[in-house]
Copies of this chain bind each other. A is one copy, B any other.
Amino acid sequence: MFTFGLMEIELSQAEENYLKAIYSLFVVANKAVSTNKIAEKLETKASSVTDMVKKLSDKNLVNYVKYQGVSLTTEGKEFAIHVIRKHRLWEVFLVRHLGFKWDEVHEVAEQLEHVKSRKLTDGLDAFLDFPRYDPHGDPIPDKEGNFIKRNITVLSALKINEESKIVGVKDSSSAFLKYLDNAEIKLGAEIKVLHKESFDNSMMLLIEGQKISISQQISSNLYVKQND
């Protein structure tokens, strides 16, 4: 339950990007994040990360012990989630109102997420009618920083005959998203696993009545929600 309380301090774009990176790496690893991983994610050098992490630590936004990785403090997490909120709201706006495709929004949202104005963010949220998911199926934090934690699985983990709905993408690279567009695989599509090929782990699916085969590369990057 975050309240985005003590956010008088203004962070630089670089600082915001670091917090966001640390947040998302922590979510998957579930333990303190290494400087190397952060460097890789932000396409920078580990030495730069060490410097920045020290600065964020001085500002009480991360917990950092030399050689032992980085994690976010409560306040750091609030900031990270707030930036993610802005990023995803802008993505919704771009797709819904400006004719962007879901593979075109990332770079622009990466810039827009750093614009500082409470009124802007909350106004945009209201204008969009408080969307709960972004174009890639990722949940959008509300103004208090709360967001839905869904019970999702990766498609490749489903067993034969299980039915589910596509709700998100793990990889949101332009290449993967374009592949999905081409194959007419959309979020919201109902699917059923017809067959799993043990040789290459490819899957035969029934998507909205259509029978198609997808490689493991694909199935392991699609999130599904199992029908109850």
Listed in ascending order, the chain A residues whose CB lies under 8 Å from chain B are 94, 97-100, 104, 107-108, 111-112, 115-117, 119-120, 123-124, 126-127
Contact = CB atoms under 8 A, between A and B. Distances in A.
Given A108-B117, A111-B115, A111-B116, 17 more contacts: A94-B120, A94-B123, A98-B119, A98-B120, A98-B123, A98-B124, A98-B127, A99-B123, A100-B119, A100-B123, A104-B119, A108-B115, A108-B119, A108-B120, A111-B117, A112-B115, A115-B115
11 contacts: A94-B123, A97-B123, A98-B119, A98-B123, A98-B124, A99-B126, A100-B119, A107-B117, A108-B117, A108-B120, A111-B115
Contacts of A98: 119-120, 123-124, 126-127
A111 to B, nearest CB: 5
A6 to B, nearest CB: 22
Contacts of A112: 112, 115
Contacts of A115: 108, 111-112, 115
Contacts of A94: 120, 123
Q: Taking each of A94, A100, A115, which has the highest tally of chain B beta carbons within 10 Å of its own beta carbon?
A: A115
Nearest to A115: B111
A225 to B, nearest CB: 32
Contacts of A111: 115-117
A196 to B, nearest CB: 40
A98 to B, nearest CB: 3
A98 B98 CA distance: 16
Contacts of A107: 117
- Ranked nearest first, the 4 interchain pairs of A and B with the lowest CB-CB distance are A98-B123, A108-B117, A111-B115, A108-B120
Contacts of A100: 119, 123
Contacts of A120: 94, 98, 108
A111 B100 CA distance: 21
Contacts of A123: 94, 97-100
A189 to B, nearest CB: 27
